[in-house]
Amino acid sequence: MSLFKKTLASLGIGSAKVDSVLQQEVLIPGDKVRIVIHVYGGSSAQKIDHIDLKLCCRYIAEKDRHPNDDREGARKSRVPVNFVLDKWQLPYSFTIESGEERTFEVELDVPLNTPITLGDSKVWLETSLDIDMAIDPSDKDMLTVRPDPVLDKIFFELEELGLRIRQVECEEAKGFALPFVQEFEFVPTTGPFHGSWRELEIIAYRDENELKLWFEVDRQKKGLGGLLSSLLGTPDLETHLTLSNQLTAEQSAQQVVDFLLELFDNRED
């Protein structure tokens, strides 16, 4: 191989390429996803030290601003933080010859609390080749994540009550296996809550045994603005419901409906 080709490969010109293909169109938290990784040789042979595969998302965290920032209300700033939900690495190196194609099959767990891809919540797959002395080729694929059957049924029944999702965002929160929770903001457009509740925020968090839901209602027409995640684990937030994984989707959804109607009646009294 000529020095010219070596130089071009080190600059990423004519280098190996990588492409990951999911074997299903939609991901469900708690399930597995099968991925086929295709590695295509470039214009010259190259040694691949690793293939790295990462299932990623992004959440919003509050950080202290620079101490010299004296603007009013500038004590905290909201910044996006990337987080790796699950990852895989090929446990050996190999050489990809010019024009050669290598294929690898991978299976990743989709964590139970992988964000649902609604609103501002995004989930993606990053694949990269680790090549010594070269610009590492990479592939990034945006993914679609849908609720599991229980949460899907709960959302359906909330719509039947006249509640519509207005905003979905992942917010930093402490005390969980993941460093964030996903908040679902609903507004009542019809039904029993219309005219009384301005909005309802819900956080859903699941483990192997149960689904836990936290609720915060805004009736003052001032907006919650991500208040719910900041109240988790404090005495200020007592409105929550725990659903056993032994319940069917229909039973879980009915318990949520009954809980909200009871909450509405108690707050209206």
Ordered domains of the chain (ranges, CATH): 3-143 (2.60.40.640), 149-268 (no CATH)
Beta-strand relationship, 138-143 and 163-172:
unpaired
* Model pLDDT, residue 8: 37
Can you give the pTM of this predicted structure?
0.82
Answer for the pair 211, 190: CB distance below 8 angstroms, yes or no: no
Q: Would you call 229 helix, strand, or coil by DSSP?
A: helix
Instruction: Identify the pLDDT of residue 240.
Output: 87
**H helix runs in the chain, sequence order:** 3-10, 149-160, 227-231, 249-268
pLDDT of residue 96: 92
Residue identified by tokens 């390429």 is 17
- What torsion, rounded to 10 degrees, do the Cα atoms 222, 224, 225, 231 define? 150
Residue 261: its pLDDT value, please?
Answer: 92
| Under-50 pLDDT residues of the chain | 1-13, 235-236
Angle at 141 between CA 136 and CA 142, to 5 degrees: 140
Determine the pLDDT at residue 11: 38
Token pair 């805004």: residue? 218
- pLDDT value at position 124? 96
Q: Dihedral of CA 226/229/235/238: which sign?
A: positive
